Structure 1
Amino acid sequence: MQIGELARACGVDVDIIRYYEKEGLLPVATRAPNGYRLFGPQHAERLAFIRHCRALDMPLAEIRHLIEVADHPDADCGDVNALIDAQLDTVRERIKAMQALEAQLMTLRARCGEQRAVEACGILKELMAVGR
């Protein structure tokens, strides 16, 4: 299949496929006599793998490492476990940061509990005071 067909089949933009191909995440496509790149089922499978990893918010460097490990099926999967553990740590840190942000916003929201003139808005006063 050509790149547009692969993009439609996998639900991604053609530019994403080109980027992943340039980054070495997708195998090099064969060329038809007319010069068009031809993609096969292995490209669709790899693209699905990459999309799943991206949905888990994994950086491309980690995805590249997972691909390298997956290409050696007899190897120990300890690297995979360590990578997922590190990703879990990253997610947990983000959750803590988001909870702290939520607390800050709730505190800020409590500064102005009713409709009033902008000049008396506790939220704006607090936001402006932070910069001073």
Structure 2
Amino acid sequence: MRIGEAAAASGMTTKTLRFYEASGLLPATERATNGYRDYGADITARLDFIRRSRTAGLTLAQIRDILQIRDVGEAPCMHVRDLLARQLADLDRQIGELVALRATVAEFHDAASEPDLAACDPDRICSYL
């Protein structure tokens, strides 16, 4: 399968496939006599895995590690489970930080919604912040 066909089948661009190959996510492909990349039929499953991994927020380095484990014939499932657990913990932390940030911005907004120009301090850039 040529790169354009693989890209179309996976919903990605040829540029993305070349990038993934250069990044080590895709194995180096055989080249036809005309120099075109010739991917095997299993490329679509690998690209689908990469897309799902990116959707889960995994980094390219994490995805590369998973694929390397699989490529040596081992099941990466426990490694993936641990990565997903860390990802969930990171997301929970970020959500907590965003909730706190939202509360702070809401306080500032509430203060700005009822302006008291007489209380405006000329030594400050803006009394709302």
If asked which structure has higher relative contact order (CA below 8 Å, sep 6+), I would say 2
- The alpha-carbon deviation at position 56 of structure 1 amounts to 0.6
- The alpha-carbon deviation at position 79 of structure 1 amounts to 2.4
AA of the residue aligned to 1:100: A
Over the matched positions of the two proteins, sequence identity in percent amounts to: 36
Aligned equivalent of 1:99: 99
Aligned equivalent of 1:28: 28
- The alpha-carbon deviation at position 41 of structure 1 amounts to 2.1
What are structure 1's unaligned runs of at least 5 residues? 128-132
Q: TM-score, normalised by structure 2?
A: 0.79
| Equivalent-residue separation in structure 2 for 1:111 and 1:77 (angstroms) | 51
Q: Is the 8 A contact 2:66 2:76 kept in 1?
A: no
Aligned equivalent of 1:9: 9
Task: Work out whether 1:112 is the aligned partner of 2:108.
Answer: no
AA of the residue aligned to 1:126: Y
RMSD over aligned Cα, in angstroms? Answer: 2.4
Q: Is the 8 A contact 2:108 2:128 kept in 1?
A: yes
| Equivalent-residue separation in structure 1 for 2:56 and 2:108 (angstroms) | 32
| Equivalent-residue separation in structure 1 for 2:103 and 2:76 (angstroms) | 43
What are structure 2's unaligned runs of at least 5 residues? 121-125
| Equivalent-residue separation in structure 2 for 1:28 and 1:116 (angstroms) | 66
Q: TM-score, normalised by structure 1?
A: 0.77
- The alpha-carbon deviation at position 22 of structure 1 amounts to 0.5
SS in 2 for 1:111: helix
- The alpha-carbon deviation at position 76 of structure 1 amounts to 7.3
How many aligned residue pairs are there? 122
